[in-house]
Amino acid sequence: MLDIKDFSFTENQSSFDFKGFLLKVSSYWKWFVVSLVIAFTIAYQVNIRKEKIYEMESSIVVKDENNPFFTSNTSLVFNWGGTSDKVQTIITALKSRSHNEAVVKKLNYYTDYLIQGKYKLLDAYGQVPFYIVIDEERDQLAGIPVRIKFLSESEYQLTVNFEANEVKTLVYATNSRGSKLVRDSEITKKYKVGEAVDLPFLNFKLQINEDPGSYVGSEYYIRFNDFDGTVARYKGIDIEAGDKAGSVITLGLQGTNKARLVDYLNATVEILRKKQLDSKNQFAINTIAFIDSTLLAMEGQLKNTERELEDFRKDKNVFELEGGGEKLTERLSNFDIERDAIERKMVYYNSLSSYLRKSTDYSRLPAPTVAGIDDPNIVGNVGKLIMLSTERSEKAYSLKSEKLFKEFDKDMEAIKQVLLENIKSAKGALEYDLALVDRKINEAEGTIKKLPEEQQELSKIKRKYDLNDNIYSTFLEKRSEADIVKAANVSDIEFIDTAKDVGGGLIGPKTSVNYILALLLGILVPLVIVLVIALLDNTLHTTEEIERLTKIPVIGVIGKKNTENNLAVFEKPKSPLAESFRAVRSSLQFLYKKQKAEGTKILMVTSSVGGEGKTFCSINLATVFALGEKKTVIVGLDLRKPRIFGDFNIENNIGAVNYLIGQRSINEIVQGTHIPYLDVITSGPIPPNPSELILSDAMGEMIQELKEMYDYIILDTPPVGLVADALELAQYCDATLYVTRQNFTKKGMLTIVNEKHKRGELHNISILLNDFENLAKYGYGYGYGYGYGYGYGAYGNSYMEMELPKTFMGKVKSVLFKN
């Protein structure tokens, strides 16, 4: 039995050959080139078609702006809260739907101004010479561009193209949608600048900007978009609070038009500043309204008291009447003012207590100081309650979080309970003060009752007048204070940097990123395909794969055929392919010597299935024996599918079949060839019983006669994977060559051969790998022989006719394999 060690011509390689893997991948270089060309073409088209993306920024600071007119003597308090709370509130407000609706509406951003670019319509906001004043109460065409072409400085042509008979419309005043029927596919009309466009689906006026420049003959487009959709785009404004300075907020917005971004960022801050200042002044506004209503009532009372005092003084000696009770009257008036102050506080407390228990909206509470209350706990808690109530009502339009509203309600409920306890305690103290003042008034009134009646009457009227006058003066003073404080209030939001186009801001498209992605995809896609092909491929590629699947030795590797017919060795005797057959011949001779075979040597050539090059190998092995001046004969025993005759230009009229059935003698079936020392016995006519003929005694007789005539007998047999004929012939052979073909023979076929070899049906068997292409595709070096002694150095070139690589990649591979 032949030992596999006798044919171990190469060392075992590692489980993963990285160089081999790269060489295999490189064999598909055309795929990679095509993939990269396609990927870079797509990336280029995307880059040139995609609009440039800009990002504009502005920054603001949130402060606790103290009113410059607020001092310890000021009776009204309007400052409360903290900066940290305001920052989060402002960030939430800037992202809220209601706030962004106000900004979009102010800037009319639902109207697009466009110009025709190379590939599509481009946003031309800030670049067109006109602006549109729409009628918000009437329908506007939704989403379809309206072309505006200026025929002169005062006249333009309006064109609309329709793709359907029904178009969608928008009414911005009610934010509603509708539809209109149109009869024509295109409408073209002329209008004067400033003239009302009155169509069922368009209602606006076009006005020219100041300093519009030259625009006659130019074409522009306008488009009306959905209001809610426009607001939703701007709600995505990027807002970040500073890490180091928590009161600094940076606003960022991305888009294709820098002028539009700049206007939006500045407008959103301005609107928020005004809204915040109005909210800040709400306390003062509530107080002023309360004071105004009180002054209106007090003014009538004061006039009535003044008229009553004047009527009483008529026809009387006032100096004489006042002489006896002036000091008492003044004293009582002071007591009355003190009592009124206490009663006003009691009334405010009762009113506030009732309001707290019955109402949930505390944003309209007046300042406690209007009633003379200066308790810091009550003043501060009323302010906090107003602030929380106002903030809750604002967030109701932008947030749908029940959890957040419950937190607001919880905080307000806690403040309300504290206020109610403060009110209860304060009222107890006031009731004590009121009782004390009433006792003093009763004592003074007891003294006055001792005066004459006219003096008592004068004192009563004067007390009423002094009281009303004092109340009126006090409220006038407080209103003046409220007006001063309100006028001096400033917003807590200030610009650090307004948004401004200074020439930068470009952030996309990322052309370099697209090209990098194209490079990665251009390589990855064919690489994945190659890997999938490799995983799904179940054919043999290398000798190492054969050695992993069987213990049968590999006797040689045959390269790809380089001639039109099968006589490759005879036509190119110095080619690498011819040398590979000579290497096989040398290995066979070594095998025969080891077996001590004498006389004629019989070699059977078989394969798994048809198409693996069994006949090609038989012819060229016979040729190398014949070229060595050894009498050689090829016997075509593939009786079902004869092929061997065509390459020698001989007929298949008679052959082995004729001998086996007794029609012809051995000399009659042997046919000479144009190759010296090489004869051929074709299979002859196709018999109906080929297996029986091969099993017949005549087969043994034919082999015996041929052994007497030739040095080497090559049996070209049927495939062992299809029929059993070759197994019957194995008994006559000294050696068997099992031909496999690269990228053709299935790996599972070796299992069949292993079983037959194990059972002894095939003996002295060796494997021949045929049609071995440039092995870079499968991870191995360039060369055809498997153990023969010629290479690609200067020595080898003198013995072989080298085939120079014709292609660029062929040259590259030859260099790689040479190294």
- Which pLDDT score is estimated for 139? 95
Q: How confident is the model at residue 286 (pLDDT cuts 50, 70, 90)?
A: confident
| Crossing angle (nearest 10°) for helices 614-627 and 576-595 | 80
Higher pLDDT, 334 or 751: 751
Higher pLDDT, 363 or 373: 373
**Tokens 């209008």 belong to which residue?**
191
Is residue 779 predicted with pLDDT exceeding 70? no
| Fold of the CATH domain 537-818 | Rossmann fold (3.40.50)
Higher pLDDT, 296 or 659: 659
Q: Lowest-confidence range among 75-79, 537-541, 644-648, 712-716?
A: 75-79
pLDDT tens digits, residue range 150-180? 999 999 999 999 989 999 999 999 999 999 9
Contacts of 513 (CB under 8 A, 6+ apart): none
- The neighbour count for residue 531, using CB atoms within 10 Å, is 11
Is residue 14 predicted with pLDDT exceeding 60? no
- Tell me the average pLDDT of the chain: 79
Is residue 680 predicted with pLDDT exceeding 50? yes
Higher pLDDT, 67 or 817: 67
Per-range mean pLDDT, top range of 87-101, 174-188, 233-247, 685-699: 174-188
- Which pLDDT score is estimated for 69? 46
pTM for the whole thing?
0.56
Provide the sign of the torsion angle of the four alpha carbons 789, 790, 796, 801, taken in this order: positive
Q: Lowest-confidence range among 185-194, 410-419, 494-503?
A: 410-419
Q: Per residue in 353-384, is it b (16+ CB within 10 Å) or e — as a string?
A: beebeeeeebbbbbbbbbbebebeebbebbbb
Domain ranges of the chain: 10-50+509-536, 83-276, 282-488, 537-818
Q: Lowest-confidence range among 209-213, 409-413, 626-630?
A: 409-413
Contacts of 441 (CB under 8 A, 6+ apart): 332, 335, 336, 339
- Which pLDDT score is estimated for 76? 46
- Which pLDDT score is estimated for 72? 40
pLDDT tens digits, residue range 121-140? 999 999 999 999 999 999 99
The two tokens of residue 323 are 């002489």
Higher pLDDT, 149 or 489: 149
- Helix, strand, coil content of the chain in percent (nearest 5): 50, 15, 35
Euclidean distance between CA atoms 472 and 301, whole angstroms = 10
- Which pLDDT score is estimated for 325? 52
Is residue 784 predicted with pLDDT exceeding 50? no
pLDDT tens digits, residue range 43-86? 988 888 888 889 999 999 887 655 544 444 444 444 434 445 67
Is residue 208 predicted with pLDDT exceeding 90? yes
What single letter denotes the amino acid at residue 325? G
Q: Do the Cβ atoms of 711 and 600 come closer than 8 Å? A: yes
611: left (phi over 0), alpha (psi -120 to 50) or beta: left
Query: What is the arrangement of strands in the sheet containing 155-161, beginning at the earlier edge strand?
Result: 121-123, 111-116, 219-224, 146-150, 155-161, 186-192
Is residue 10 predicted with pLDDT exceeding 60? no
Q: Lowest-confidence range among 311-315, 429-433, 470-474, 799-803?
A: 799-803
